[in-house]
Structures are given as C-alpha cells and as structure tokens.
Amino acid sequence: VNLDLELFAAVDTASATKKSDGGRVCTLELKKADGEWWPKLSSGKTPKNVKVDWATWKDEDEAETEKYAPRSAGMESMGEMG
C-alpha cells in the first residue's frame, strides 16, 4: 500500500518509525525537521483514513513547557535508598 500525503512541512526521515499490527493498522511516527509549530498536519486535504493518535499529541504550549522543565535524571527512585 502506498500513502501519498503532502505534510505541512518537512519531517526528519532518519527518525521515522513504522509499526504494524499485521492487519489493517499501520502506525507511522514522524518528527518535524525544524521543530516549528504546524497549524495543521497536511498542506492539502488529509485522507479520511489518516488518524491522529491524540494520546501522544503535544500542543504548542505543552512542547514549550517540556522544553524548559527540569529533568529528574532518575531521581524518582532515590526515596528507595537507605
């Protein structure tokens, strides 16, 4: 099966992953090449059979918060010591 979808901007093809359940569902994970905010997924009309996984969706403000949030670096297990 071929998918011809013109995305809003360029993606990083080196980091692309594909998962298939062996049936009708195929999941593609693509990362934006420039990291800029896209107002929509495609530059044209999105096919009806292309869906967004809202569980992994990040809004612009969530991505910005994550960018500046301190990382725990594994500190969550420190309470188990000693």
pLDDT level of residue 79 (50, 70, 90 thresholds): low
CB 31 within 8 A of CB 11: yes
pLDDT at 21 over 70: yes
List, in sequence order, the alpha helices (H) in 8-47: none
The pLDDT of residue 72 is 54
Q: Which helix (H) or strand (E) holds 26?
A: strand 26-29
Q: What is the largest CA-CA distance in the chain?
A: 58
The per-residue pLDDT for range 30-77, each reduced to its tens digit, is 888 988 888 888 888 877 878 878 787 777 677 666 666 655 555 555
pLDDT at 12 over 90: yes
DSSP state of 64: H
Put simply, whether the predicted model's pTM sits higher than 0.85 gets the answer no
